[in-house]
Amino acid sequence: MRDKSIVIIGGGIIGASIAYHLAIMGAKNVVLFEKNYVSSGATGRCGGGIRQQWSARGNVRLAMRSVRKFETFKQELGWDIEYRQGGYLLLAYTEEEAESFENNVKMQREEGLHVEILTPESIKRRFPYVNTTGVLLGTFCPTDGHANPHLANFAYIQRARELGVEVYTHTEVTVVETSSNRVTGIQTKRGYLKCDVLVNASGAWSKDVANMAGSDLPTESYRHQILVTEPVENFMTPLIMSFSKNFYIRQTLHGSFLMGQGDPDEKPGINYRTTLRFEKEIATKLTTVLPFLRNMRIVRHWSGHYNMSPDAQPIIGRDRNVENLFHAVGFSGHGFMLAPAVGEALAEMILTGKTSHIDLSDFDMNRFERKLVKEKNVV
């Protein structure tokens, strides 16, 4: 199996992590194609948050495994990716939200995750810059954190290259050749390449790639906007998030604040433009929760895409129509944090047919015929 030719489509964090893990597991013949530059997709546009407090058990497990790997990232890859475990503080503003937080924490604790439930008073004491007006409770997981997504993406790619993976940027896979439900090769502007295994890690373009290979995916892509401020001295350690108020915000190690929100009115499709409305809504909302922001300035605002499946959980594993096609797509707003565990699990699956840490059956594409467990903790 290790000599088989494996082609990966997509040079974001997911494709890069798969390439790296295949290479350290000994795969000899791995080629990665990226139609743009490394981190040009969602990865280079994301918030970089790393959280384990999920409502769906499968996500908690994947995230916990990833955190293990982020903790050893520097030793393992030799790259400092500005990783910091400052925790995630989730704020509940409604009774219903508070109740579901308490249920989530119960499940998360069953999985062995250390999570605290905080009263508004203790939030005020520990994070005095938060205006707790209207907050009913908070949950705080100290091992959650964040990292620099560009650096993490570059680290995986560079290490993969050093281990022999061929990486071609600015090279789009334009045709996938199949014969009797198997992928036989792919076409780029550089020519034709025969392959034994094809991996779809194409993020927002996941459905297009699946279609090229003669299959299909129930995924759609939605624009998400995000903005960043001028840097100031570091003081806010946790990433702060609310689902009902619809926001997340963190301070990077470099000092600037990154923040975003979802937009329920967004239409599916690729759209890189930004709206002034977003800046106004974020400013109005967040200067209330974090009043110190009033004197800070926005320096940049951009957008990227969430690739969404019907249950807001990823699709990881073998295609059900094309047998040598694998997917790692549909990561919604949390593909960055899951990438280490996903790369490891999918590489194992491709090379050995089984996984050692994660049960991928929660994420297979046949689940959409079963009853869905929707991930609710998303912005």
Partner 1 sequence: MKMEHIERPELLIIGGGPAGLSAAIVASNHGVRTLLVDEGVKLGGQLVKQTHKFFGDEEFYASKRGFEIADILVDEVKRSPNVLTLTQTSVIGIYEDAVGVYDRTKEKVFSILPGYILVAAGASERFLSFPGNDLPGIYGAGAVQTLVNQYGVLPGKRFLIVGSGNIGLILAYQLYQAGADVVAIVEITDRIGGYEVHAAKVKRLGIPVLTNHTLVRAIGQERVRGAVIAKVDEHYSPIPSTERELVVDVICLAVGLVPSVELVMQAGAELIYVNELGGYVPRRDFRMRTTVDNLFVAGDLAGIEEATTAMIEGKIAALTIVEELRNLDLSEEIERLQKKLSIFRSGPTSEKVRRGLEKMGIHYEGVSFQNVKQTPGLEHKLKPVIECFQPIPCNPCETSCPTGAIVVGDNINNPPKIDYEKCTGCGICAISCPGLAIFMIQEDYTGNRSLIGVPYEFLPLPQKGDVVLALDRDGNIVSNAVVEKVIKSKNLTNLVYISIDRDLAHSVRQIVMPESKPASYVCRCEDVTVEDVMRAIDAGFTDYEELRRYLRIGMGPCGGRTCSSLALNLLTRKTGRSPYELRPQISRPPIFPVPFASLKGGEEDEG
Partner 2 sequence: MRIENHPILRFSRARRFVFFFENQPVEAFEGETIAAALIANGIDTFRLSLRHKRPRGLFCAIGKCSSCLVEVDGKPNVRACLTLAREGMRVRLQKNRGVVGVEDGAH
Ligand X SMILES: Cc1cc2nc3c(=O)[nH]c(=O)nc-3n(C[C@H](O)[C@H](O)[C@H](O)COP(=O)(O)OP(=O)(O)OC[C@H]3O[C@@H](n4cnc5c(N)ncnc54)[C@H](O)[C@@H]3O)c2cc1C
Between residues 26 and 291, which has the closer beta carbon with respect to partner 2? 291
Supply φ then ψ for residue 259, to 5 degrees: -155, 155
Nearest-approach distance from CB 278 to ligand X, in angstroms: 11
Single out the segment in contact with ligand X by CB under 6 A; choices: 262-270, 327-335, 344-352, 356-364.
327-335
**Is position 306 an interface residue for ligand X (rule: CB under 6 A)?**
yes
**Is position 53 an interface residue for ligand X (rule: CB under 6 A)?**
no
Closest C-alpha among 67, 36, 132 to residue 344? 67
Per DSSP bridges, beta strands 145-146 and 49-50 are antiparallel
Q: From the list ligand X, partner 1, partner 2, none, pick the one residue 232 interacts with, judged by a Cβ distance below 5 to 8 Å according to partner type.
A: partner 2
Between residues 142 and 231, which has the closer beta carbon with respect to partner 2? 231
**Is position 58 an interface residue for ligand X (rule: CB under 6 A)?**
no
Beta bridge partners of 261: 225
**Is position 280 an interface residue for partner 1 (rule: CB under 8 A)?**
yes
When binding is defined by CB under 8 A, the residue of 28, 57, 126, 301 that contacts partner 1 is 301
Beta bridge partners of 253: none
Between residues 93 and 154, which has the closer beta carbon with respect to partner 1? 154
**Is position 294 an interface residue for partner 1 (rule: CB under 8 A)?**
yes
**Is position 40 an interface residue for partner 1 (rule: CB under 8 A)?**
yes
Q: From the list ligand X, partner 1, partner 2, none, pick the one residue 211 interacts with, judged by a Cβ distance below 5 to 8 Å according to partner type.
A: none
Strands in 175-179's sheet, in edge-to-edge order, are: 175-179, 182-188, 191-194
DSSP structural state of residue 41? S
Q: From the list partner 2, ligand X, partner 1, none, pick the one residue 238 interacts with, judged by a Cβ distance below 5 to 8 Å according to partner type.
A: none
**Is position 337 an interface residue for ligand X (rule: CB under 6 A)?**
yes
Contact 327, 210 (CB under 8 A): yes
Nearest-approach distance from CB 50 to partner 2, in angstroms: 24
When binding is defined by CB under 8 A, the residue of 25, 151, 163, 253 that contacts partner 1 is 151
Nearest-approach distance from CB 225 to ligand X, in angstroms: 7
Task: Compute the distance between CA of residue 302 and CA of residue 125 in angstroms, rounded to an integer.
Answer: 34
* Residues near partner 2, by CB under 8 A: 128-131, 230-233, 235, 255, 290-292, 294-297
**Is position 89 an interface residue for ligand X (rule: CB under 6 A)?**
no
Q: From the list partner 1, ligand X, partner 2, none, pick the one residue 300 interacts with, judged by a Cβ distance below 5 to 8 Å according to partner type.
A: partner 1
Q: String of b and e for 344-374 (b: at least 16 CB within 10 Å)?
A: bbbbbbbbeeebeebebebbbbebeeeeebe
Contact 257, 236 (CB under 8 A): yes
**Is position 47 an interface residue for ligand X (rule: CB under 6 A)?**
yes
Strands (E), 58-181: 88-92, 116-118, 137-141, 145-146, 166-168, 175-179
When binding is defined by CB under 8 A, the residue of 3, 192, 302, 366 that contacts partner 1 is 302
Record the tokens describing residue 235, joined without a space.
């003081």
Rg for the chain, CA atoms, rounded:
20
Task: Compute the distance between CA of residue 304 and CA of residue 308 in angstroms, rounded to an integer.
Answer: 13
Q: String of b and e for 243-278 (b: at least 16 CB within 10 Å)?
A: bebbbbbbbbbeebbbbbbbbeebeeeeeeebeeeb
Q: From the list ligand X, partner 1, partner 2, none, pick the one residue 343 interacts with, judged by a Cβ distance below 5 to 8 Å according to partner type.
A: none
Residue type, 302: W
Contact 310, 218 (CB under 8 A): yes
**Token match 């005020």: residue?**
124
Using CB under 6 A, list all residues that contact ligand X: 9-15, 33-36, 40-43, 45-49, 172-173, 201-205, 209, 224, 226, 260, 304-306, 331, 333-337
Q: Which residues bind partner 1 (CB under 8 A)?
A: 36-40, 44, 150-151, 154, 158, 161, 169-170, 228, 230, 254, 271, 273-277, 279-284, 286-287, 293-302
